[in-house]
Homo-oligomer: A and B are copies of this chain.
Amino acid sequence: MLPAFERGFMDTLQDGKMRYYWDRVRHHGARYAKFHWPSVEVILNLVYTYDVALNHFAKRMSKIGLSPSAFNVLMILSRHDEKSCKQRDLSKLMLVSRANITGLVDSLAKRGLISRAPDKTDRRVCIVRMAKKGERLLEQFLPSHYEEMRRILSNLTPAEEKTLTALLSKLRSLFWQQKKEGRP
């Protein structure tokens, strides 16, 4: 995220500047036989749009002292039965190694937002459970979070939302497909 004191340029970027720069991208790429502007344009838009959306929501989360990952942990717990989850499963759902989950859980536990206890049937596993404090924090944040999402997205028509979801999903599947074929 660009620091606050240098953000003036962003206003320029979204209008003229970005088109100007993307023109350069297109002209530079034209030197390569396999360069295909419509494809590149899709990827550029994916990256920039993700960036803008992430920054928007990350900024809101940071106001309640949560990083996107920390928020993600709380949401996963909240959605699970008994509001608890094995660290192993957290690791798999968040596509992050177990080693990194340890640190993340540590910091959330230190703040009293979650608790950690050994599983009774398999003493290797740790069960992470939402604490009252974490629950309250989520309950305080989620209504405005969902409202904000809805407010921004409401400028897309239902048909546009549906199309965008379908196309993103299709695009993602194309990458997955490549990975699968790479490991026969």
Contacts and interface: CB of A to CB of B under 8 A. Distances in A.
Interface string A73-106: 0000011100000000001110111100000000
Interface string A170-184: 111111101110000
Interface stretch (A2-10, A107-115, A116-124, A127-135): A2-10
Contacts of A78: 28
- Taken together, the copies of this chain in the complex come to 2
Contact of A156 (B27, B42, B163, B164): B42
- A: interface residue count bin: 35 or more
Interface of A: 1-3, 6, 9-11, 13-14, 21, 24-25, 27-29, 32-36, 38-43, 45-54, 56, 78-80, 91-93, 95-98, 142-143, 146-147, 149-150, 152-156, 158, 160-165, 167-176, 178-180
